[in-house]
Chain A
Amino acid sequence: MRKIPNKRAQNMKAKQRANITFRMNILFFSIFILFTMLILRLGYLQIVKGEDYTRELARTEEVPVNTSVPRGRIFDSEGRIMVDNLPQRAITYTKMQTTKSEDMYEIAEELSLLIEKIPAGITKSDLQDFWLKENPEEALELVSDKERKKIEANEDLDKKEKSKEINRLTRSRITEEQLNSFTPEQLEIIAIYRVMASGYALSPQIIKGDDVKEEVSVEEFARVSERLGDLEGVNTTTDWRRVKNSSLAILGTTTLPKIGIPKDRLDYFLARDYSRNDRVGTSYIEQQYEEVLQGQKSVVKNITDGKGRVIDIQTVFEGEPGKDLVLTMDSEVQLAHEEILAKELLKYSNSYGGKYLKHAYFIMMDPYTGEVLSLVGKQVGSNEKTGAKEIQDYAFGAFTNAYEMGSTVKPATVLTGYREGIYSINATLVDEPIRIKGSAPKSSVFNRSGSIRVSDLQALERSSNVFMFKTAFGVAGKNYVPNQSINFGTEAFLKMRSGYAQLGLGSLTGIDLPGEVNGETGGFADGKLLDLSIGQYDTYTTLQLAQFVSTIANGGNRIQPHVVKEIREPSEDGVQLGSVVKEMTPTILNTVDNSRAEIEQVRKGMQRVYFGDKGTARGAFANAPFTGGGKTGTAQASEYDRDAGHSFNTVNLTHVGFAPYDNPEIAYALVIPDASLESSYKTNFSTAIAKELVDKYFEIKKKNKETTEIDSTSTSLIKPAFTNAKIDEEEND
């Protein structure tokens, strides 16, 4: 034997052997480290963090359930119900995540024996569903084995698509005859089932009771209530219908439960724990105060077993009805004003010049608090059914439509004149036709050709255009020289507009209603500065006009208007309003850059519009039983006539005012756009309407003062609505 090489080889082998042992130990040590990491990580998750995970699980099991808490009601300033909830019996069904369609058919069948359900809204696919369920064997035969195999062999389809395709074929082969073979009883089952199936898991679906035409009778309610134990998921409960006691559009609208959250705002609401079939506000007050009006649903905890089935439901939070709103408006005043405006609008729209008269707006507010006392907008429309002409509510137009307002903005021009140092109090300027090279002369209505020296007071009293033009020249830093061309520059526009904006013209008022619009700002074309100074260029909303006059009336504070006065807890006894949660306090948006004396001077000028010898509103207001001030306005506008194919010149009639003179309690603005054809325009009839509206306010106030002296607690009592006009939510769509 060759011993030496063998020995050497054995040596090598032994060495290698030792090396393997060493390496195995390293491997084993690494494995030990890995397993230690596993154990440490497990310890961290299960011991350190274990409770967190347990809590996490408990949290995800809590589900807010729509228990139909009543939405907050809306009252007027006197406690009269404007928007109410009517309770109604309802039968609901709540689907669980694990509910199967066979279970639902079973319950639908049982329910169909207990309640009557009009088989409305059944679709073809509902009928097909039912037929497939009733005739499983025949259904199988509709698609032959050969066809099935062919579909199965199709490589382009995945499993789901294959079964979909078979399903589609099966359905297409169910004959009309087969679908029409159902008995009325079966149709009832289908109708009930389709409502049950349309709901989302854990969100109760009203099977019966959400339709005025089909109310749940007392007997039905009792029959179902007795058998709730057998009807898994079914419940008898009280639902609420939203009923408005006023046609006032700004109260807003809500969706019906069967429509639920509007699609375009789905994410917004779902993120706030709404269910898809919740009633939500979709316009004006109902929308703006959605969070207040919407109650808090009860939160229940579903106790599930290992298979995800709900075995018990515990209430974690009882839920809260929505809070009530008390508006700043007195529905008596509001309604009276609506009647006046509607009556006048109808009258003038029927006159010859009123061909293009379509709208009229009126806003009255408290100049110190910003409370909107009445907000009226009317439009000429035609009845949906008869097609006859009728006056409709258009209240939101008062802050969504802007017009050229004419001379009512002159107080703003004068205040801007003071502010820019063009003149001071009691200054006089010569009213004379302004001749600018290349354009027709511009003059005041009361003075077409002469040359009269007018003071600031007279300028307002007589509505001097030229005083305003010369103010505009001054703001631009120019002197008026007849027959020269003009070159004002953009600076002047900016100064003028900033002066107006301080008062409320051209800035958003900040009213607590959605959709407010700012007027349109024109450009900077030189000659237009003169038009701007007399309200013939930029456009403003009626609400901006009302805020503007409030700012002057209260001495220079631009105040934010609001329609909600208080938020209150829901009434406890149904007799008295609930306690106040929040009272809306006046918000001053800004204070104008004019001195007290300057504002007082403008107020005096406006007083002379009503009571001065030559005041433009003297005819209507000179003998008023109240003090105050105002300003009239007419603006040239035009309205395009589609039938005639060209535009007609019209006039917008406007009026602003405040009363009484000292510490005014009301400030108001009236706007009647396209009130008359310019060709047949005779007189500014808005002045008389404004007087009638203000008179009505004082009249009602006087009457109410007499009654409240007898009953001093009346404001916190819930009173019936002022009218009997009931608008059910169903009629709103």
Chain B
Amino acid sequence: MENKKGFADRFDWTLAFIILLFLIISLFAISSAQTTGQYGINFIPKQLVWYIIGSIIIGIVMFFEPEQYKKLSWYIYGIGVFLLFILFVLPDSLALVKPMNGAKSWFHLPIGDIQPAEFMKTFYILGLARLITMHHEQNLIKTVKTDLILLVKMGVTLIIPLAFIMQQPDLGTSLVFLAITVALIIVAGITWKIILPIFLGGLGMGGLLLWMAVYMQDFLSDNFGFNPYQFARIYSWLDPYSYASDEGMHLITSLNAIGSGEIFGKGYGERIVYVPENHTDFIFAVIGEEYGFVGASIVVSLYFLLIFHLTKITLQLKDAYSTYVCAGIIAMITFHVFENVGMTIQLLPITGIPLPFISYGGSSLMGNMLAIGLVFSMKFHHRTYMFSKNEDD
């Protein structure tokens, strides 16, 4: 009966429209960012190509039903881990995996540099969603014990890709994995008796470490073997003006750019401040400077709209697996946006992760399109069963 509906009815036009808006914002921001001519490359056509490839990915992903992903979850997860493993074991000297900027995170393919970790995020979500679903199917009666077992299983699933990514090293992406896990722990329905102590304890520990990094660095470096450069990251975040490291300078230029945008911004192409990497990780500085508070808020709100839309879809879905996948995708996008925008406005320390759909970059865009493709698929293949009403009771 679901087949009675045509393509146009089942396709999520709203979501497509939001992505289209991001494409437009992305092209405007990148074209302004590259006016400094620091790279001598025109990124606009490249980004367009990535968007086209991304759309094709969405099309392919949408073609398959969520049920199929559910079945294949572990294989997909396995492929992702395998890619990370390959990247890890191949020698640095090999041109294919040569480290860039001190991190071995990319396969240098003829079509461009591909970062497996970007895809692994989505694969991990699939694996985790499947894990949770299966766990709940096997343990209909939830107890603290079954919840703990679930938690351990999730931990194991997390630790495998995380270990590979952290040694690349890639702190930003590692944090994304943590964010996804945290969100799914909440949504998976694990009892508050476990969640609260863990989260509060984690927050407390983080706060304490931060406090100690500022006031007791000797204690930390003597007893826990922290390196001075790790404190440097904290200082350059909290007080970039007196701690003029590279990161501190980066933050200052970013703050100058965004702050001087004031309410309405300077207009397209009128930016003055040169922020390094402003076509990728620091693209928000361009938006903040040229379009001011109004423009920056609109972009942030557009992300919120996307999240809101995804949440709405999630709540409509009847199938638990799809719900978990969506929740993971929501967490992934949220964390990217919050961390990326946050680091440009001194809300969070600088870590290298891109702004989804806007920053220039093939892997990142394809990874995100893959995730969004899954949402499209769920929406597209979503069925309203006759007896669903009973189920909802």
Q: Quick check: is B279 within 8 A (CB to CB) of the other chain?
A: no
Q: Which of B269, B341, B392 contacts A14 (CB 8 A)?
A: B392
Chain A's interface size range is 35 or more
When the two chains form their complex, are residues B345 and A45 in contact, meaning their CB atoms are under 8 A apart? yes
Majority SS of interface residues in chain B? helix
On whether the beta carbons of A41 and B259 are closer than 8 Å, the reply is no
B36 within 8 A of A: yes
B349: interface (CB < 8 Å): no
Chain B residues within an 8 Å CB radius of A9: 140
Q: Given A14-B393, A27-B187, A47 and B320 touching (CB < 8 A)?
A: no
Which of A29-37, A499-507, A599-607, A625-633 binds B?
A: A29-37
Which of A50-58, A380-388, A724-732 participates in binding chain B?
Answer: A50-58
| Closest CB in chain A relative to B325 CB, distance in Å | 12
Provide the residues of chain B in CB contact with A49, threshold 8 Å: 259
Q: Report the Cα distance A504→B293, complex, angstroms.
A: 70
- From the candidates B183, B300, B338, B346, name the one contacting A27 in the complex (CB within 8 A): B183
Find out whether the CB atom of A38 lies under 8 angstroms from the CB atom of B255: no
Alpha-carbon gap, A173 to B262, bound state (A): 56
Q: Is A23 a contact partner of B189 (Cβ separation < 8 A)?
A: yes
- Which of A14, A34, A35, A53 contacts B260 (CB under 8 A)? A53
Question: A56 CA to B255 CA in the complex, in Å?
Answer: 11
Residue on A nearest B37 in the bound complex, by CB: A307
Interface: A163 (CB within 8 A): no
A663 partner residues in chain B, CB cutoff 8 A: none
Q: Roughly how many angstroms separate A42 CA and B311 CA in the complex, as a whole number? A: 25
Alpha-carbon gap, A10 to B390, bound state (A): 9
Asked whether B80 is an interface residue with its Cβ less than 8 Å from the other chain, the reply is no
Interface string of A268-291 (1 = CB under 8 A from B): 000000000000000000000000
Nearest-neighbour CB distance to chain A for B342, whole angstroms, equals 7
Q: A37, A53, A304 — which one has the most chain B CB atoms within 10 A of its CB?
A: A53
Would you list which residues of chain B between 308 and 336 have a CB under 8 Å from chain A? 308, 311, 314-315, 318, 320, 323, 327, 330-331, 334
A19 close to chain B: CB less than 8 A: yes
Stretch at the interface among B169-177, B222-230, B270-278: B270-278
Q: Are B189 and A38 in contact (CB under 8 A)?
A: no
Tell yes or no: B347 within 8 A of A by CB.
Answer: yes
Inter-subunit contact A46/B259 (CB<8 Å): yes
- A308, CB-defined interface residue at 8 Å: yes
Residues of B within 8 A of A39 (CB): 297, 300-301
- Contact of A51 with B262 in the complex, beta carbons under 8 Å: yes
Q: In the complex the two chains form, is A47's CB within 8 Å of B187's CB?
A: no
Task: Please indicate the chain A residues that have their CB under 8 angstroms from the CB of B103 in the complex.
Answer: none
Q: How far is the CA of A54 from the CA of B288 in the complex (A)?
A: 13
What separation, in Å, do the CA atoms of A57 and B266 have in the docked complex? 13
Report Cα–Cα, A45/B271, bound state, in Å.
17
Provided the pairs A23-B186, A27-B187, A56-B260 are in contact, do residues A38 and B330 lie with their beta carbons within 8 angstroms? no
Q: Taking the nearest CB of chain B, how far is it from the CB of A306, in angstroms?
A: 5
CB proximity to A under 8 Å, residues B355-393: 390-393
- Measured CB to CB, the closest approach of chain B to A96, in angstroms, equals 15
Taking a contact as CB atoms under 8 Å apart, the answer to whether B341 and A24 are in contact is no
Residues of B within 8 A of A37 (CB): 342, 347
Are B36 and A42 neighbours in the complex by a CB distance under 8 Å? no
B300, A42: Cβ atoms under 8 Å? yes
By the criterion CB–CB under 8 Å, are A54 and B262 in contact?
Answer: yes
Residues of A within 8 A of B347 (CB): 37-38, 41
Residues of B close to A230: CB separation below 8 A: none
Answer whether residue B75 sits at the interface, using C-beta atoms and an 8 A cutoff: no
A21 touches B315 (CB 8 A): yes
- Contact across chains for A20 and B189 when beta carbons are under 8 A apart: yes
* B261 nearest in chain A by CB position: A46
Q: Looking at the complex, which one of B136, B255, B274, B304 makes contact with A16 (CB distance below 8 Å)?
A: B136
Q: Does B292 contact A (CB under 8 A)?
A: yes
Partner of A42, one of B37, B274, B288, B320: B288
Q: Across the two chains, which residue of chain B brings its CB closest to A18?
A: B392
Set A8, A26, A38, A46: member contacting B342, Cβ < 8 A: A38
Q: Tell me which residues across on chain A come within 8 A of B331, comparing CB atoms.
A: 27
- Are B297 and A42 closer than 8 Å at their CB atoms? yes
A20–B187 contact, CB under 8 A?
yes
| Chain A residues near B308 (CB-CB < 8 A) | 28
Interface contact B391-A14, CB-CB below 8 Å: yes
Residues in A with CB closer than 8 Å to B14 are none
**In chain B, residues 235-258, which have Cβ atoms closer than 8 Å to a Cβ of chain A?**
255-256, 258
Q: Which of A12, A27, A155 contacts B186 (CB 8 A)?
A: A27
Q: Which residues of B contact A19 (CB under 8 A)?
A: 189
User: Which residues of the other chain, A, contact B392 by a CB distance below 8 angstroms?
Assistant: 14, 17
- Please encode chain A, from 670 to 684, with 1 for each CB lying within 8 Å of some chain B CB and 0 for all others: 000000000000000
In whole Å, how far is A10's beta carbon from the nearest beta carbon of chain B? 7
Query: A450 at interface (Cβ–Cβ under 8 A)?
Result: no
B291 CB to nearest A CB, Å: 10
Q: Tell me whether A13 is interfacial, beta carbon within 8 Å.
A: yes
Cβ–Cβ < 8 Å partners of B320 in chain A: 16-17, 20
Distance, CA A198 to CA B105, complexed state (A): 41
Nearest A-chain residue to B98, judged by Cβ: A155
* A10 adjacent to B288 (CB under 8 Å): no
Given A42-B293, A42-B296, A306 contacting B256 (CB threshold 8 A):
no
Question: A477 contacts the other chain (Cβ, under 8 Å)?
Answer: no
Contacts of A23 in B (CB 8 A): 186-189
The answer to whether B338 and A13 have CB atoms under 8 Å apart is: no
Contact at A24–B314, with CB atoms within 8 Å?
Answer: yes
Q: Is B15 positioned at the interface, with any CB of A under 8 Å from its CB? A: no
Q: For the complex formed, measure the closest distance between the CB of A60 and the CB atoms of chain B, giving whole angstroms.
A: 8
B contact residues around A50 at 8 Å (CB): 259-263, 293
Known: A20-B323, A306-B35. A42 touches B187 (CB 8 A): no
CA distance A155 to B341 in the complex (A): 36
**Known A42-B258, A45-B259, A46-B293: A57·B391 in contact at CB below 8 Å:** no
Q: Given the complex of chains A and B, what is the CA–CA distance between A47 and B263 in angstroms?
A: 6
B93-A27 in contact (CB<8A)? no
Interface residues of B in 151-209 (CB under 8 A from A): 183, 186-189
Q: Is the CB of B256 within 8 A of A53?
A: yes
CB of B324, distance to nearest CB on chain A (Å) = 8
Report the separation of the CA atoms of residues A28 and B92 in the bound assembly, to the nearest whole angstrom. Answer: 42
Residues in A462-477 with C-beta less than 8 Å from chain B: none
18 examples of A-B residue contacts, CB within 8 angstroms: A17-B318, A19-B189, A23-B188, A27-B327, A28-B308, A31-B307, A35-B303, A37-B347, A38-B342, A41-B347, A45-B259, A46-B263, A47-B262, A50-B259, A50-B262, A51-B262, A56-B256, A306-B269
Q: Ordered nearest first, which 9 A-B pairs have the shortest CB separation?
A: A53-B259, A50-B262, A46-B293, A53-B260, A54-B260, A23-B187, A19-B189, A45-B259, A35-B304
Chain B residues within CB distance 8 Å of chain A: 35-37, 92-93, 136, 140-141, 183, 186-189, 255-256, 258-263, 269-274, 288, 292-293, 296-297, 300-301, 303-304, 307-308, 311, 314-315, 318, 320, 323, 327, 330-331, 334, 337-338, 341-342, 345-347, 390-393
